[in-house]
Amino acid sequence: MPSFVNDAARGNIYRDVTPAQRTIEDQLVEKVVQSFDHTPDPRLKEVMVSLVRHLHSFIREVRLTEAEWGAAIEFLTRAGHITDDVRQEFVLLSDTLGASMQTININNAAYQDATEATVFGPFFVEDSPRVERGGDIAFGAPGEACWVEGNVTGTDGNPLAGARIEVWEADEDGLYDVQYDAGKRSARGHLHSDTDGSYCFWALTPTPYPIPDDGPVGQLLTAVGRSPLRASHLHFMVTREGRRTLVTHIFPAGDPILWDDSVFGVKQSLIKRFEQQPAGTPTPDGRIIDGAWTRVRFDIVLAPSDA
């Protein structure tokens, strides 16, 4: 196989490719690009032209073999076959390549002290149960109880009442409810911030777990020597009129997996202290807990919708 060098001055990353071969490859790129000349939607045209140029550049840079191309097609085919209403293998692929996080970074630009966003993940569902203030989203899912509290404010510091707070997480066995049964609902729920912007609920202390690794994405991670483990986390999605929707997690400080998270979702500002409470410690709402429990504070700051 030819060797390659990135010669930025000459714009040539295809050393050992003859001028005649380079011309053939260049002509194909331009022919494909020109096929979008009459695209009526200018944004679609911009995206497709850029996609073609980058895709062809990748193919040419690595001098992709036909066998490798075939393997890629077969990989994507298997990802499609394993995807259903619960399992989204293409989201997992996007997550593990960092594409999901980069898209989130681009579309959730830093704004003053607004809470940072991170990956959505493949296990959100629309019909989560409603819980009242201080309610328990576990709904029988196994795990250590965790008291979660905080305030929802704008970047001006004023409280935001009525913000819808969706929360979901895996149980202590590392599984989401829908992985047991598509219709099961546990370790997820939604509530609203109070008139003073405060909220509180019971959840489970997050634990690390592997992303579904029994499919093509898991096989890819094994092939490249990467772990499928996600750092421990609790998902949030916070919405309110006039505010940018926030999709984020919080991560327990001290988790050894933090900076090896398989989907690159950890941000320093989202690492929180989950304080261990010994068995018998009084709870904030008088609930009797059999054994130890944890508590964490997560104050949420929402950016304006036009930020």
DSSP states of 176-230 as a string?
-HHHH-TT---SEEEEE--TTSEEEEEEE----EE---SSHHHHHHHHTT---EE
Tell me, what's the pLDDT at 142? Answer: 97
Q: What percent of the chain has pLDDT over 70?
A: 95
Alpha carbon of 215 to those of 79, 93, 101, 119, 208: distances in Å?
7, 11, 21, 20, 19
Q: Which fold has domain 92-302?
A: Protocatechuate 3,4-Dioxygenase, subunit A (2.60.130)
Tell me, what's the pLDDT at 181? Answer: 86
Tell me, what's the pLDDT at 123? Answer: 87
Neighbours of 107 (CB within 10 A): 9
pLDDT tens per residue across span 80-127:
999 987 788 999 999 999 999 999 999 999 999 999 999 998 889 898
**How would residue 9 be classed by pLDDT, with cut points 50, 70 and 90?**
very low
Tell me, what's the pLDDT at 174? Answer: 94
pLDDT at 163 over 60: yes
* Three-state DSSP state, 269: helix
Tell me, what's the pLDDT at 253? Answer: 98
pLDDT at 14 over 70: no
Q: Average the pLDDT over 17-41 and give the result.
A: 96
**Taking all residues of the chain, what is their mean pLDDT, rounded to a whole number?**
93
What are the helix (H) ranges across 244-287?
none
Global pTM reads 0.87
Integer Cα distance of 217 and 208 in angstroms: 18
Neighbours of 283 (CB within 10 A): 15
- Please say whether the beta carbons of 122 and 170 come within 8 A: no
What are the helix (H) ranges across the chain?
19-34, 42-62, 66-82, 89-96, 99-107, 177-180, 216-223
- Please say whether the beta carbons of 108 and 244 come within 8 A: yes
pLDDT at 10 over 90: no
DSSP-derived letter for residue 160 is: -
Neighbours of 82 (CB within 10 A): 17
Integer Cα distance of 198 and 299 in angstroms: 9
Tell me, what's the pLDDT at 234? Answer: 98
Q: Average the pLDDT over 53-70 and give the result.
A: 96
Q: Cα 11 vs. chain centroid, distance in angstroms? A: 35
- Helix or strand run (H / E) with residue 128: none
pLDDT at 296 over 90: yes
